[in-house]
């Protein structure tokens, strides 16, 4: 084990019960990732007319897939950040178990609303659709879906309250934890770990997002029960997209702590905070809350200044990522003679995939492009890049690290096959989405025209590779975890 990893092991204050909770969470995350990918495979095969799926079932699968992937990305990201924050602050194990319980309760409610109640209104629960199903589902199914979201939100608020409380207790204030002493050039005898700066930023912006999301959920629930209760549809849409955009971005910003904490074990150099790093994370704190307006560029009733800001922030939001995390990762890897095992390969891939995913996202944030491309496959192309080649790769890299053992060895043949299969499948899958978007193939359609079938079928083949590699990663983790615990 390297000197860096020995130093980390000495200062780690993660207790065994919390490590066990994190490992259980990653097992659940891996299993749900695999299931949601199978749902995605079924939908692509149905669009390609290789199998027949009733359109009502297609939209139920689409709803489960969207909510499941977003929720599981957030769950795995939260487990990763909790684990590594535990190296620097003392966290209460019971809070994590409560968070996990509320999350699982939400999952039960959401799955019940979809596969028992027939809810198929997509993960965005866009108002007033939940109450206007045209007979596809009853109001109770929509209410259960939204109550599931509320339960998950309560769990996350408990999680962030504990993080914020302990960060404040350890570092004096959230402002100091955000690196303001570094930004202002003040001397600091207790330098901040990058993980704490990231955790402080995510705690602030995702708490705001969840609270606003809870507000629109409660309003929508009241509207379901009392149809005469008025909700401003434009305000509701803004709150829903603010919540959704902040929440999915938070999942990646939580998971990236694995990069900050694990890669130094391979390079032999600690990942240190500096002024530029702190400035970048404070910029992220602002950008991630302002950029959601690019989802509303087609809403002509939106105030023009909001749409202009949404476009400008879309241009700039990738700079903190590329300038700090991606560039720093490149410098860490370059000339380090690091060992390329499954962990390091997946973590470096995740940063590269995240960076690449910001390019089609920025393109879609241009008003002239957005008017043509936003309702096409281009959009799932860019956010699948963020997820498959970004957050999910980070989660799988963290899982591989948890069962790596004390020594770092070269990647085995089976690991190499699984990694190459995942990379090829994910890269091909998102490329097909982007080409489909460029060809103006719409998203969210259950039935496709003959002219689109080639795109769908190629995408289906790539999705098979993703599912196979994901199963290999998850089974590898479970089997090695069983041996290491035995």
What is the per-residue pLDDT for 2?
Answer: 43
Q: What is the pLDDT of residues 108-150, one digit of tens each?
A: 999 999 999 999 999 888 888 888 888 899 999 999 999 999 9
How many Cα atoms sit within 13 Å of 299 on the Cβ side?
19
Q: With a cut of 90, say whether residue 17 has pLDDT above it.
A: no
Range of the domain at 320: 3-485
Average pLDDT of span 37-64: 97
Check residue 13 and give its pLDDT: 58
Q: Is the pLDDT of residue 9 over 70?
A: no
Residue 6 has pLDDT above 50, yes or no: no
C-alpha torsion 224→226→230→233, nearest 10: 0
At 396-417, the pLDDT tens digits run: 999 999 998 777 778 889 999 9
| Residue length of the chain | 486
Residue pair 188/182 in contact by the 8 Å Cβ criterion: yes
Peptide bond into 316 cis (omega under 30): no
* pLDDT, average across residues 37-57: 97
Which CATH number fits the domain that encloses residue 145? 1.20.210.10
CB of 342 closer than 8 Å to CB of 414: no
- Rounded mean pLDDT, 354-358: 88
Q: Over range 303-332, report the average pLDDT.
A: 78
Confidence of residue 469 (pLDDT cuts 50, 70, 90): very high
Domain count, the chain: 1
More confident residue, 478 or 8: 478
pLDDT tens column, 182-209:
898 886 667 789 999 999 999 999 999 9
Instruction: Give the percent of the chain with pLDDT over 90.
Output: 66
194 touches 260 (CB < 8 A) = yes
Whole-number pLDDT of residue 57 = 96
Q: Which of 18-27, 232-241, 294-303, 457-466 has the lowest mean pLDDT?
A: 294-303
pLDDT for 165 equals 96
Q: At 52, phi and psi to the nearest 5?
A: -110, 125
| Confidence band, pLDDT 50/70/90 cuts, at residue 98 | very high
Contact status, residue 301 vs residue 370, Cβ threshold 8 Å:
no
The answer to whether 443 and 367 are in contact (CB under 8 A) is no
Predicted pLDDT at 8: 43
- At 365, the pLDDT band (50, 70, 90 cuts) reads confident
């Amino acid at each position: 084990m390297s000197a860096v990893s020995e130093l980390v092991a000495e200062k780690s204050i993660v207790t065994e019960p919390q490590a066990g909770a994190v490992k259980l969470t990653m097992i659940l995350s891996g299993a749900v990732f695999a299931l949601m990918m199978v749902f995605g495979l079924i939908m692509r095969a149905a669009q390609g007319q290789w199998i027949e799926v009733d359109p009502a079932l297609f939209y139920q699968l689409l709803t489960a897939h969207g909510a499941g992937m977003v929720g599981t990305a957030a769950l795995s990201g939260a487990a990763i950040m909790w684990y590594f924050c535990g190296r620097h602050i003392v966290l209460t194990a019971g809070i994590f178990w409560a968070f996990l319980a509320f999350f699982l309760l939400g999952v039960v409610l959401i799955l019940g609303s979809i596969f028992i109640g027939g809810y198929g209104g997509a993960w965005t629960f866009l108002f007033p659709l939940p109450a206007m199903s045209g007979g596809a589902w009853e109001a109770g199914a929509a209410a259960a879906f939204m109550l599931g979201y509320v339960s998950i939100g309560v769990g996350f608020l408990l999680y962030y309250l504990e993080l914020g409380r302990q960060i404040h207790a350890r570092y004096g204030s959230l402002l100091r934890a955000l690196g303001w002493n570094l930004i202002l050039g003040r001397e600091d005898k207790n330098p901040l770990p990058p993980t704490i700066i990231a955790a402080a930023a995510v705690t602030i912006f995702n708490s705001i997002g969840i609270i606003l999301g809870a507000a629109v959920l409660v309003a929508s629930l009241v509207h379901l029960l009392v149809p005469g209760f008025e909700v401003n549809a434009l305000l509701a849409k803004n709150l829903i997209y603010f919540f959704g955009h902040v929440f999915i971005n938070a999942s990646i910003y939580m998971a990236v702590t694995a990069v900050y904490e694990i890669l130094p074990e391979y390079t032999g150099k600690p990942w240190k905070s500096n002024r530029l790093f702190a400035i970048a994370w404070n910029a992220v704190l602002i950008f991630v809350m302002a950029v959601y307006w690019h989802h509303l560029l087609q809403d002509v009733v939106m105030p023009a200044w909001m749409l202009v800001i949404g476009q400008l922030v879309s241009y700039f939001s990738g700079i903190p990522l590329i300038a700090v995390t991606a560039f720093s990762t490149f410098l860490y890897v370059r000339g380090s003679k690091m060992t390329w095992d499954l962990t390091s390969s997946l973590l470096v891939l995740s940063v590269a995939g995240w960076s690449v995913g910001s390019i089609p996202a920025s393109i879609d944030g241009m008003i002239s492009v957005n008017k043509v491309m936003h309702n096409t496959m281009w959009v799932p192309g860019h956010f699948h890049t963020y997820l498959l080649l970004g957050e999910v790769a980070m989660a799988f890299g963290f899982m591989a690290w948890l069962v790596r053992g004390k020594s770092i060895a070269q990647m085995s043949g089976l690991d190499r096959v699984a990694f190459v299969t995942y990379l090829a499948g994910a890269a091909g899958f998102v490329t097909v989405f982007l080409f489909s978007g460029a060809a103006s193939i719409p998203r969210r359609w259950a039935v496709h025209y003959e002219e689109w079938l080639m795109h769908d079928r190629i995408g289906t083949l790539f999705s098979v590779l993703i599912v196979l590699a994901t199963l290999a990663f998850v089974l590898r983790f479970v089997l090695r975890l069983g041996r290491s615990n035995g």
